[in-house]
Structure 1
């Protein structure tokens, strides 16, 4: 990824997704053992789920705040839970699905962020981080993919 001080909020989100998908391209070689990271474990499906959920959660927050609504609280199980589906093999078809899902979510984010003025990005309505800060926070979602790393 490029230097975050010079990239736009949209570039930060798109770059995060590109980074995640580059690593995910190596996960079809995963041996089926969850990888420990901090106090959690990660698998390819769990990493993709967490990135997608994080994008959806904060997108819903931003859209609610833009129309003057209170954001709906999330009820994700997040990283605390590793479900049966998270333990499934990560196939080429799963990679294709992840590419479609995450690329589209990144595009929605980029389109929305690029449509906002610098003032809207920095002085965002409602409670919480500014939308610029939110985008930079999302860029940290590389954590989930980095926990697994390159498995080629």
Structure 2
């Protein structure tokens, strides 16, 4: 993962989504080939699903911690499972849906992160990474899209 030293936490998340969607714009050309990375298999749908799940999971964590609650454990199958839906053709409509879903999730993240003070970003309540570290961790969600890559 490339370091971005002057990037705000909000930019880390929105930049990640911009990267994912730039790659996804080429996925309507996908020929059904599976992309095997490490011990996992990826497809365009699976990459979008994983990015969205990662954003939702950590957003739920952030909000619970801000509310003084214990974050709810996630029960995603994550990358270990490739669903039948993951194997479907990736159409222009799927790209439109991914753009809407991921852009809105990134905006929710950016809005929340931009309301937090530097102290809240760095000395975040509860157990786990600081919220600044969490945003940098989310930047790594490009991994899922990079597994599929550019298909132009």
- Give the shorter-chain TM-score range: over 0.9
What does 1:66-145 align with in structure 2 at a 5 Å threshold? 66-145=66-145
For residues 85-130 of structure 1, what are the alpha-carbon distances to aligned partners after superposition, in whole Å with 9 as ceiling and x for unaligned? 0000000000000000000000000000000000000000000000
Deviation at 1:19, TM superposition (A): 0.1
Counterpart-to-counterpart distance in 2, 1:108 and 1:83: 27
Deviation at 1:3, TM superposition (A): 5.5
Match status 1:64 vs 2:64: yes
Provide TM-score, normalisation by structure 2.
0.98
Counterpart-to-counterpart distance in 2, 1:151 and 1:20: 13
Counterpart-to-counterpart distance in 2, 1:4 and 1:11: 10
Counterpart-to-counterpart distance in 2, 1:127 and 1:48: 28
Please state whether the residue corresponding to 1:108 is helix, strand or coil: helix
- Structure 1 residues not aligned, in runs of 5+: none
Structure 2 equivalent of residue 48 of structure 1 = 48
Provide TM-score, normalisation by structure 1.
0.98
Please state whether the residue corresponding to 2:132 is helix, strand or coil: helix
The number of residue pairs the alignment matches comes to 152
Counterpart-to-counterpart distance in 1, 2:150 and 2:68: 42
For residues 27-85 of structure 1, what are the alpha-carbon distances to aligned partners after superposition, in whole Å with 9 as ceiling and x for unaligned? 00001121111110100000000000000000000000000000000000000000100
Counterpart-to-counterpart distance in 2, 1:16 and 1:111: 15
Structure 2 equivalent of residue 19 of structure 1 = 19
- Structure 2 residues not aligned, in runs of 5+: none
Counterpart-to-counterpart distance in 2, 1:83 and 1:51: 15
Please state whether the residue corresponding to 1:15 is helix, strand or coil: helix
